[in-house]
A and B are shown apart, each in its own frame.
Chain A
Amino acid sequence: MPPDRTAHGSAARFVAVLIVVGAFYVLCFYFAEIDLRRLWQGLPRLGQWALRAWPPNFADLSTLLVRAAETVAMATLGTTLGAVIAVPLCLMAARNIAPSAVLRLPARWLLNILRGIDSFVFALLFVAAVGLGPFAGVLGVGVHAAGSIAKLWAENIETVEPGPIEAAVMTGAGRLKVVIYALLPDVLPSLTSIALYIWEFNVRASTVLGIVGAGGIGQELKSAIDLLDFSRVFAILLIILVMVTIIDQVSASVRARLT
């Protein structure tokens, strides 16, 4: 009977999916070299460090705060740079307003490449190109953020209703005027919200850029860990936590007001 057969078929499919997913996990465990014994042996060491980390060592606080400011500055300027690059990129990539498919596909590829490579990797390259320091971080964050922002912006622009754009087209105005007049007022709040969200994300991502020599609080974090100076590590983590929380709160409250 048909109902039985479908039930039977779906049960068989369920088992097959279960086996495939199970096999995938077994492979992942193998490649990730999961070894619970090592975790068990390492735990006391972590505990000792945690004990030694108390109280947090805020000596030389001014250096840490300067580094934290560097991190926020890298994320802010990097996101801004990304947004500037994203403007032409998203206009070429959004299906409903792209001038032609000839431009749209390469624009899509470019932003997928930029988005696909992490800002950490870009920062590594820029450190090699322009030298150590936060400037390399700004460039790394900016290039990656350009891809992320352009993709999210283009997707947002694609959901816009076509009507007002058609109405503006019928006035005989050129593409740029149509975009600025009819599209921008509609999407500006959500585009701003997206840029702020990426900024938030970049502040968190920038905390580790110091590890590759691209400046910021990550640099202090790395040297403190290298020196096994755990009370300083603790202090740095607290500063990161406070910084990220403040940025998230600011960004969230601005975004709540936008929509």
Chain B
Amino acid sequence: MSPGVDIRGLRKSYGARRVFDGFSLSVEPGQFVALLGPSGAGKTTLLRCIARLTDPDGGEIFAAGHPMHLLHGRALRQARCDIGFVFQQFNLVRRRSAVGNVLAGGLAATPLWRVVTGRYGEADRRSALAALDRVGLKDYAAQRADRLSGGQQQRVAIARALVQKSRVLLADEPVASLDPDAAESILSLLRDIVREHRLTVLCSLHQPLLAHRFADTTCLLEGPGPRLPSQGFAIDAVDATAAPSAP
């Protein structure tokens, strides 16, 4: 199984609203794919189905070599270790420090007593600080997460994914809550890190211009909403068949 992302015949409905009906997408390892499409097209649903934060109704999902659609319990948790997730709202633990949030990347391997007491091992601490350094936040390590700006919080979230050593990174509108400058710098950081670590990335964006600049390829989800206006440059779809409009 390839360590990229492979989706075959994904089906997902919310009540009567069909979001995916036989959706397929194949992402080669090491690729940065931007998911584009109007809101309601299923970008978030797709990413959440891959991570199994949402359960798909049917179809096959392979991510980092794991058959995500088949996994439960411990096996699912182990598979998730290989999959980083960056959220639109950053989702840091507000009362923990920046480095405390980055340390979560190693949570699965950390003994419970260390989680309870907050006494993390020297090696974990060092790798968390190194990750913070990589995203340019070394001086903010002790700062509480909710005292950081949005862009800084998203950097912490990326550092968390770095510490996790995930092979696939899913990013759900990582820059939608940020101002344009912060959005640019977050995306270029993401692109650089992805190249350094040869990660496979699926990243939903709602701005085609950003997608075009930072992603290797783009995938357009059409969904039931209005079609995207033409942007004057080609959007190369990657073996993608989006869901038909809801009946």
Contact = CB atoms under 8 A, between A and B. Distances in A.
Contacts of B85: 166-167, 170
Nearest to B92: A164
A167 B112 CA distance: 18
Nearest to A174: B77
B96 A185 contact: yes
B119 to A, nearest CB: 13
A172 B107 contact: yes
A186 B51 contact: no
B110 interface: yes
For chain A, the bracket of interface size reads 10 to 19
B42 interface: no
> By CB atoms of chain B within 10 A, which of A163, A167, A171 has the most?
A171
B81 A164 contact: no
A163 B110 CA distance: 21
B78 interface: yes
Contact of B107 (A163, A164, A168, A185): A168
A36 interface: no
B83 A180 contact: no
A90 B164 CA distance: 30
A166 B91 contact: yes
A172 B104 contact: no
A171 B53 contact: no
Given A166-B87, A170-B83, A185 B108 contact: no
B115 A177 contact: yes
B35 interface: no
B16 interface: no
B89 A181 contact: no
Contacts of B91: 163-164, 166-167
A110 interface: no
A173 interface: yes
Interface string A163-194: 11011111111101110111001100000000
A182 B77 contact: no
Interface in A90-149: none
A134 to B, nearest CB: 33
A172 B53 contact: no
B126 interface: no
A18 B210 CA distance: 64
B93 A170 contact: no
Interface in B140-166: 157, 160, 164
B51 A177 contact: no
Given A167-B85, A167-B87, A170-B53, A181 B108 contact: no
Contacts of B82: 172
A186 B112 CA distance: 18
A186 B93 contact: yes
Given A164-B93, A186-B95, A180 B104 contact: no
B56 interface: no
A193 to B, nearest CB: 15
Contacts of B104: 167-168, 171, 173, 181-182
A181 B92 contact: no
Nearest to A178: B107
A40 B116 CA distance: 63
Contact of A167 (B108, B115, B157): B157
B174 interface: no
Contact of A172 (B89, B108, B112, B157): B108
B72 interface: no
Interface in B89-103: 89-96
A170 B112 contact: no
22 contacts: A167-B91, A167-B157, A170-B51, A170-B85, A171-B80, A171-B106, A171-B107, A171-B108, A172-B78, A172-B80, A172-B82, A172-B107, A172-B164, A173-B108, A173-B110, A176-B112, A177-B108, A177-B110, A180-B115, A181-B115, A182-B93, A185-B94
Interface of B: 51, 53, 77-85, 87, 89-96, 104-108, 110, 112, 115-116, 157, 160, 164
Given A167-B87, A170-B80, A170-B84, 12 more contacts: A163-B90, A166-B53, A167-B91, A168-B104, A170-B83, A171-B106, A172-B80, A174-B77, A177-B115, A180-B116, A181-B115, A185-B93
